[in-house]
Amino acid sequence: MTLALTLDADKHGSLDTTLQGLYVKQDDGNYRLDADIPDTDGLKAKADELLGETKRERELRKAAEDRAKALEDAQQKALHDNAKAKGDVESLEKSYQEQIQKLNEDNGGKVSALEKQIYDLTVGQAATNLANELSIKGSAIALLPHIQNRLSLEQSEDGTQKIRVLDANGNKTAMTLDDLKQEFRANEAFKPLIAAGGASGSGANGANSGAGGNGVPKRLSDCKTMEQKSAWLAANS
């Protein structure tokens, strides 16, 4: 049987007389169990204190966890930003490289086109003139590639372009265009293509009546077209 801590007069009177002796009447008329009762107010205060400490610990732990998470998030963001920045740099570098490559290709194409144009106006024209001068009518096209293989364009120290006669193996020589002309005339393999007596088979006349024996004007000032000027330069280089 559990005894109540306090009883009013009626409840106290309803107890067995033996049990009634366990209670002491209080000033307010009620009865209180006469026993060593712990100080509940002190216990409550202690409990509240422990609860407060527990709450503070929870708050501190949560704050620490929040700081740790914020730090982790900051680190992840920094890694992400760094990776993104690195990716941007790589993308920019790739873009620049592609632009540089395109510029080089464009410039290379322009240079190649200019070089071909210069070659056509010098070596090409000189070879054409020589083929027309040497060949019988209608045979210049067959003789032309053989003559072109014996000519090259080189740049002298002063920056000017000069036609150079090559030997059969492609080596530079000191030969002139006239020397090359005579070599072709003397070559038995080309005899069927060479006009007899040095007469040109190109049919060129009239317009070149004031020209030299090879159809090229004697003076640069007499050249009327770019082709004539190129041929004159080739013949007089």
pLDDT of residue 128: 92
Q: What CA–CA distance (Å, rounded) separates 96 from 115? A: 28
Q: CB atoms < 10 A from the CB of 35, how many?
A: 10
Spell out the per-residue pLDDT of the chain, length 237, in tens.
567 778 898 888 888 888 888 888 888 889 888 765 555 556 556 656 666 777 788 888 888 888 888 888 888 787 777 766 666 767 777 776 777 777 777 766 666 776 777 777 788 888 899 999 999 988 889 999 999 999 998 877 777 778 899 998 999 999 999 999 999 999 998 888 898 765 444 443 333 434 454 566 777 667 766 666 667 666 765
CB under 8 Å to 158, separation ≥6 — which residues? none
pTM recorded for the entire structure: 0.40
pLDDT of residue 21: 83
Number of residues that make up the chain: 237
Domain boundaries along the sequence of the chain: 1-37, 113-235
pLDDT of residue 220: 65
Taking the CA atoms of residue 227, residue 229, residue 232 and residue 236 in that order, the dihedral angle to the nearest 10 degrees is -130
